[in-house]
Structure 1
Amino acid sequence: MNVKHLLLTLTLAATSLTLLTNCSESSKAGKIVSGIAVSKKDTIVAKPAPQPINTKEYDSLMKKLANGDTTGKWPVAKTPYPLTGAILPYKRVVAFYGNLYSKRMGILGELPPKEMLKKLDGEVKTWEKADPSTPVIPALHYIAVVAQGDGGKDGKYRYRMPFKQIDSVLTLAKTRNALVFIDVQVALSTIRAELPLFENYLKMPNVHFAMDPEFSMKTGARPGTKIGTYDADDVNYVSDYLAKLVKQNNLPPKILIVHRFTQGMVTNYKNIKLHPEVQLVMDMDGWGEPELKKGTYRNHIYKEPVQFTGFKLFYKNDLKKAPNHMMTPGEVLALKPKPIYIQYQ
């Protein structure tokens, strides 16, 4: 499998980074009752408890995603039911991937915003037509920390995008009621150092997270020279972090995307923990001809089941070799299990 080469040279003016805050003020004249700020005039109205999901419906949809698999791998046994408000498996997510500073990293930044959104609308309709029984929700999958060839001031070989660019993506997403994924390529940094920087964004109900093992360079190698790796411990750190945010902020479940196209990119998959607050997608991230992509999916996604699956389609790289054909939604839906997250680069 070829390593995706990212040669991104960014010359940026110093940017003042302003975090979004989700603070609430209570009146000094008030009091705290069960953790709720209440004024002397107020009466406490109990918040209705969320209704549990319909487990029979959920089980039926998960069985449908298994697509007739008879090995017992799919649907994955003994996974927790999600909290109310879960997106998967009720809707399929169709995402455009990229970075606003680069036309070479994906369709999200390759086209002008209006043209990009129009193309995304078209892909959503195509998937709705291919599987009318599953509603489709659009998404913008933004690379917020980019692995690069330059070590930078701290020698970590990654560039953190200014928050104003994430704000721009959020504004674009709002026009389509789309989800936003914050994608992190840690390079010689760590997921523990990078994830907390985005906490205030992840407190938003429509913002989710993605981690890319390809650019997690634990050996100290430069990004792009070797394929990196994450262990189950790294995935569990992110999943635990997101689950805590969901519980503390009364959010619907978060989706966590883990990219993968080789065996070594994710180690000890059986130790990955699942939570009702987090829906974990193993995303087949490799490019190439259809048979190669199917083989990668079969060997590294199907064979090592976690919870949900995703599939990446490349507008350009998938066409490089004969038969010069990017897989259609119908061909992707023939896979076992059916991917519930689709990404275009």
Structure 2
Amino acid sequence: MKKSVALILGVFLILLLAACSDNNADQEENNGKEENSNTEENAAPEPEDKEKPEDKEPAQPYKALKPAEDAKPLEQKLTQQELENMPDAEAHGSDPARMVPVGQTLVKGAEDQTNGPLKNHRIVAYYGHPNSENMGILGEMGKDELMKKLKEQTQAYSDADPERPAVPMIELISTVAQRDPGPEGHYYHRTPPELIDEYADLAKENDALLMLDVQLGTDSVLHQVKLLEEWLKLPYVHLAIDTEFHVAEGETPGVDLGGVDGAEVQEAVEYLTDLVEENDLPDKMIVVHQFIDDAITNKSAIRPSEHVQVTLNYDGWGDASTKKSLYRKFVRNEAVQYGGFKIFYKKDEPIMTPEEVLKLDPNPAIVNYQ
């Protein structure tokens, strides 16, 4: 009897121990699942593809002027008749919606691979030399008054086309063409470096841009660009080329009208592209001025790069209808990338308003005043 009881107790203990062992295993499994669940819940999310520091675009060193609160998009300001009478209306059909978009600044077929100022903004510039009243508005007033008037004119364009806010820019002639050979024998005089520094500081203090304009004489475009390299390395400084002052040996600037081959402009594009890449600069602009046929030849050689935007700027003066016609001829029909248009406060008849300027096709990405 005692043996039977002992046997029964032994079996019972074995079963009890087995049950406990199973429960412990289940508990450990459940704890493991809970731990895994909590780990998955609290784990940091997988990082998204973040830009590496070296991939980030350098910050653009300017501020566009905000449009007025009641400013309307440009297309709302044009009448149906104006839309139908825009250039190339027939080519786009009778439906104005099929025409060149109002506000389009890139010329037809062009693209912009940069992150430059013209991508989303318009530039409004005051042109000239501080030491000459005859060369533009920069010589007609002091720096404070200049910036006040420039900002007022820039604001007018932000209000006229609020979808493309405007940025103020000073266009300073940094190399002045001369009628005598000068010390270097190339018929130009360099603006003193300290004067360029003054206007570079003025632009920076006002969140504006500075464009250095070269009047070449008999010098090459590339050499002039190299002379300006210390300023072109500043993030807010850009380049303009006054083509008609580039004359051949034996000719005189101001007496003979010259011109620039597009291949020379392209050398400047490539030089600035390298400058941007090597110095981690914001993308640059080059403006090429033209008011006669021969001022720029071989335009097909000019190819904007991934770091340099190119604007063909019509800078003739006179009556508005002639200026519009020549803008279409030199900028739209001989397209490169962007269009620019110059207004002469004292020589144009009449002086076109911002709304009138912005009816041009393509809309000028740069409007400069002399």
User: TM-score by structure 1 length?
Assistant: 0.77
Structure 1: runs of 5 or more not aligned: 1-45, 53-66, 319-323
Deviation at 1:192, TM superposition (A): 2.5
Match for 1:139 among 164, 169, 192? 169
1-structure distance, mates of 2:182, 2:107: 44
- For the pair 1:256 / 2:286, whether they are aligned, the reply is yes
Matches within 5 A, 1:192-211: 192-211=222-241
Structure 2: runs of 5 or more not aligned: 1-51, 59-85, 93-98, 101-105
2-structure distance, mates of 1:51, 1:228: 38
Partner of 1:337: 362
- For the pair 1:81 / 2:113, whether they are aligned, the reply is yes
Partner of 2:329: 299
Contact 1:144 1:161 in 2 (8 A): yes
Contact 1:188 1:220 in 2 (8 A): no
Query: Which residue identity does 2:231 align to in structure 1?
Result: Y
Match for 1:108 among 120, 138, 141? 138
Note the alpha carbon deviations across 1:231-272, whole angstroms, 9 max, x for none: 111111100110000111111210000001111111111121
1-structure distance, mates of 2:157, 2:111: 27
Task: Tell me the secondary structure at the aligned position of residue 234 of structure 2.
Answer: coil
Note the alpha carbon deviations across 1:39-77, whole angstroms, 9 max, x for none: xxxxxxx6252279xxxxxxxxxxxxxx88657996443
1-structure distance, mates of 2:180, 2:138: 23
Matches within 5 A, 1:14-25: none
2-structure distance, mates of 1:344, 1:235: 23
Partner of 1:47: 53
- For the pair 1:244 / 2:269, whether they are aligned, the reply is no
2-structure distance, mates of 1:219, 1:316: 33
Range with greater deviation from structure 2 (295-304 or 148-157): 148-157
1-structure distance, mates of 2:253, 2:355: 34
Note the alpha carbon deviations across 1:158-195, whole angstroms, 9 max, x for none: 10111101101012112320000011001122222221
Contact 1:89 1:340 in 2 (8 A): no
Matches within 5 A, 1:25-36: none
2-structure distance, mates of 1:279, 1:201: 18
1-structure distance, mates of 2:355, 2:110: 29
Query: Which residue identity does 1:243 align to in structure 2?
Result: T
Range with greater deviation from structure 2 (72-81 or 218-227): 72-81
Task: Tell me the secondary structure at the aligned position of residue 186 of structure 1.
Answer: strand
2-structure distance, mates of 1:98, 1:327: 20
Contact 1:145 1:158 in 2 (8 A): yes
Partner of 2:295: 265
Contact 1:210 1:256 in 2 (8 A): yes
Note the alpha carbon deviations across 1:105-131, whole angstroms, 9 max, x for none: 111121111111111111011111111
Note the alpha carbon deviations across 1:76-107, whole angstroms, 9 max, x for none: 4364521xx42113010001111111111111
Partner of 1:188: 218
Partner of 1:232: 262
Decide which structure has the larger Cα Rg and report it: 2
Query: Which residue identity does 2:273 align to in structure 1?
Result: A
2-structure distance, mates of 1:194, 1:68: 37
Task: Tell me the secondary structure at the aligned position of residue 331 of structure 2.
Answer: helix
Query: Which residue identity does 1:330 align to in structure 2?
Result: E
**4+ runs of 1 displaced by more than 4 Å?**
67-74
Task: Tell me the secondary structure at the aligned position of residue 245 of structure 1.
Answer: helix
- Change in 2 beyond 3 A, CA 1:167/1:50: same
CA RMSD of aligned residues (A): 2.1
- Change in 2 beyond 3 A, CA 1:255/1:191: same
- For the pair 1:93 / 2:123, whether they are aligned, the reply is yes
Task: Tell me the secondary structure at the aligned position of residue 147 of structure 2.
Answer: helix
Matches within 5 A, 1:57-68: none
1-structure distance, mates of 2:304, 2:54: 26
Count of equivalent residues: 279
Residue identity (%)? 38
Contact 1:283 1:312 in 2 (8 A): yes
